[in-house]
Structure 1
Amino acid sequence: MNFGEAIQAMKEGHKVQRAGWNGKGMWCIYNPGSKGETHAMFEGSVYKNHGVDECEILPHFDMYTVNAHGRRAMLPGWLASQSDMDADDWQLVKA
C-alpha cells in the first residue's frame, strides 16, 4: 500500500510497517491523543521538572523501533522520511 493508505490504516487502529525497512519488528501506530482531556504528569518526568503539572496529549504517530543502545523503544511523534512517503511497500503488521 502507499503512504496515504498506511496513514488511513493507522487511523483505523492498525499497526503498519514498510517491507523495505532494515530493522526487524519496527512498526508505526496512530495515537489519537487524549481528545481534550488532560493528564497529570508523573513526578520526575521531564515535563513535571519543567513545571508542567498536566496537559492534553495531541494526536500523533509513534514508531516502535530500536534506540542507539540496541534496546526496543517507542519514538513518540515519529515523522516519515521522504523515502517513506514515496514508498509503495507499506503493509499491515500481522498479529
Structure 2
Amino acid sequence: MNFGQAIERIKAGKLVARKGWNGKGIYIGLIKPKDGDAMTHDFIYIDTTGLQTDNPDAPLDRVPWLASQTDMLAEDWQVVGD
C-alpha cells in the first residue's frame, strides 16, 4: 500500500511498517494523548523495541517519527501485528 493508505490505517488504530525497512520488528503507530499527558496533540511514533539485529548499539526505543521523502513515496507499506 502507499503512504496515504498507511496513514489511514494508523488513524484506524493499526500498526504499519515498510517491507523495505532494513530492520525487522520496527513499526509506526499513532498515539492520541489523554488529559494530563505531556503531549497535547496526536502524533506518529516509531517503535524499534522489537528490532531484530546483531548490532548491540542499535537503539531500542519508542519515539516520535517523521517520514522521509523515500517513506512518503514508497509503495511497500503493510499492516503488521494483525
TM range (shorter): 0.7 to 0.9
TM-aligned CA distance change 1:64 to 1:56, over 3 Å: closer
Q: What TM-score results when the alignment is normalised by the length of structure 2?
A: 0.81
Deviation >3 Å, runs of 4+: none
Aligned partner of 1:70 in structure 2 is 58
Query: Aligned residue pairs: how many?
Result: 76
* TM-superposed deviation, 1:5: 0.5
- Over aligned residues, Cα RMSD in angstroms? 1.8
Aligned partner of 1:46 in structure 2 is none
The residue matched to 1:10 in structure 2 has which SS?
helix
* TM-superposed deviation, 1:75: 1.4
The code of the aligned residue for 1:91 comes to: Q
Query: In structure 2, how many angstroms separate the alpha carbons of the residues matched to 1:69 and 1:89?
Result: 27
Q: What TM-score results when the alignment is normalised by the length of structure 1?
A: 0.71
Q: Which residues of 2 match residues 53-64 of structure 1 at below 5 A? A: 55-64=38-47
Q: Which residues of 2 match residues 8-23 of structure 1 at below 5 A? A: 8-23=8-23
More strand by percentage: 1
- Identity over the aligned pairs, expressed in percent? 39
The residue matched to 1:75 in structure 2 has which SS?
strand
Q: Identify unmatched segments of 5+ residues in structure 1.
A: 40-54
